[in-house]
Amino acid sequence: MIGFEVLARDGAARRGRLVTAHGVVDTPVFMPLATTGTIKAMTPEGVAATGARVVLGNTYHLMLRPGAERIAALGGLHRFMNWPHAILTDSGGFQVMSLAAKRTITEAGVAFRSHLDGSLHHLTPERSIEIQHLLGADVTMALDECIAYPAPREAVEKSMDLTMRWAERSRQAFVDRSGHGIFGIVQGGVDPGLRLRCTARLIDIGFDGYAAGGLAVGEDQATMFAALDASLPAMPEDRPRYLMGVGKPADLVGAVSRGIDMFDCVLPTRSGRTAQAFTRHGPLNLRNARHADDPAPLDPACPCPACTGYSRAYLHHLCRSGEILGGMLLTAHNLRHYGDLMTAIRTAIETGTLADFAASFESTA
């Protein structure tokens, strides 16, 4: 199993350390998305230079192309993508939801047609775990159904019950080994009672970590935080807690304050490729004409290549011209910004100043 230790606390927030087969990960942590075995517009060395020590791979996409067995034959995902640090792989559950027009869910699992060539595939809890094992994931996720939001309570409960049965099968299929672990995923929509019931069942099954799933799918921030407030206190204190698919910097600060340890989201990389940069004074759209004659750096306090070597005017030119370099520089900047934010949060927890940090962050975000 993986190791996890809480080193400091500030209220509900935790400063911890996750120990995996491919190194130590300081928490709270943000995980960049390596959906198809790559962080778009970045080299693995560039990703590591932002401070990242864990990335997220996508079971659904990698099983379709190039295939889990092929990756395993080539030495596993770490070697395949030249990433020596930790990897968490999702189970394919979110893709099940997003492919609603092309899939059929039964007790056994999911039958779906590939978005690439229309070929038919079956994903069961056992196959999902097998794929993640073949990839060599440090952290494996149990297969879940992530139901669309909003949905009737009866539908949410039915989906959650299926997720719990799949969770038990996923846990049974997982091969325990040093430095590798499996997380269960809490579902139940935004209903406090359902989320608590799901949490209790997952704890009974016994996982190495617990994820808050089914959030950041359309509800507002206050609703998401209320769902976390209802279920996080019931999660084991000695296991990592992962909020899936979140999010904006303010979401991260608020969720850490409630006890979350791990995050992932497409936002910093996708935004970098679409001319949006996150800074200490809020987001900037580099396509805006006001940057055309600005010689100032993007963020003078940031040590990334985009901020130390280029002006806002040049970045504006790259984005308006559709040059690949613009997306590369802004993606690197955004990942460094998220990494620096998590470093600052960890320091604030260690020094007992997270509330002050959050208040200051809100005033400048």
**Alpha-carbon distance 73 to 83, whole Å?**
17
Structure tokens at 206: 């016994």
**Alpha-carbon distance 142 to 126, whole Å?**
9
Please work out, in degrees rounded to the nearest 5, the angle formed at the alpha carbon of residue 175 by the alpha carbons of 85 and 109. 100
Please give the sequence-ordered ranges of beta strands (E in DSSP) within the chain, or none if there are none: 3-10, 13-20, 23-27, 29-31, 33-34, 54-58, 86-90, 103-105, 110-113, 120-123, 139-141, 181-186, 209-212, 241-243, 262-264, 276-279, 282-285
Do 183 and 137 touch, CB atoms closer than 8 A? no
Task: Output the CA–CA distances (angstroms, integers) from residue 244 to 56, 160, 314, 364, in the order listed.
Answer: 11, 16, 35, 25
Helix crossing, 249-257 with 221-231: angle to 10°? Answer: 20
List residues bridging with 178 in a β-sheet: none
- Annotated active-site positions, please? 90, 264
Do 162 and 105 touch, CB atoms closer than 8 A? yes
Task: Output the CA–CA distances (angstroms, integers) from residue 171 to 93, 147, 221, in the order listed.
Answer: 15, 21, 31
Structure tokens at 240: 């990592």
| Strand 54-58, strand 241-243: pairing | unpaired
What single letter denotes the amino acid at residue 220?
A: D
